[in-house]
């Protein structure tokens, strides 16, 4: 009987640092978010796609087990993913943390 290594859970609980802007904060930043929405592009990550659709991704040859897959959302077209990303930015559905000029999460 071979012993397989136990997979460590990535997150034991909800990340309290992951918060959306409040509606009043998003209202103040509406012009900035409109500009970001016009510049936003979606590339995708092959580790999160079993079916790469038209994203031009090559699934990894040795995917990490336990990696969450975006396929559950049934978005297989890059244009649809970009439209949703831009809509999230326009509506202020972004995190309060930034990575440079971009919100950490949309």
**Are residues 88 and 47 in contact, defined by beta-carbon separation less than 8 angstroms?**
no
Predicted pLDDT of residue 7: 47
Q: What pTM value is reported for the model?
A: 0.75
Element (H, E) at 102: strand 102-103
Q: Is the pLDDT of residue 83 over 80?
A: yes
Q: What is the average pLDDT score of the chain?
A: 83
Whether the predicted pLDDT of 45 surpasses 60 = yes
Q: Which band of pLDDT confidence, cut at 50, 70 and 90, is reported for residue 96?
A: very high
pLDDT value at position 64? Answer: 66
């Amino acid at each position: 009987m071979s012993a397989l290594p136990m997979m460590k859970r990535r997150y034991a609980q909800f990340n309290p640092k992951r918060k959306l802007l409040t509606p009043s904060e998003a209202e103040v930043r509406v012009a900035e978010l409109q500009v970001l929405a016009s510049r936003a592009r979606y590339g995708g990550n092959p580790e999160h796609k079993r079916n790469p659709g038209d994203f031009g991704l090559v699934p990894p040859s040795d995917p990490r087990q336990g990696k969450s897959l975006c396929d559950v959302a049934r978005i297989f077209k890059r244009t649809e993913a970009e439209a949703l990303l831009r809509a999230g930015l326009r509506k202020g559905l972004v995190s309060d943390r930034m990575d440079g000029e971009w919100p950490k999460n949309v």
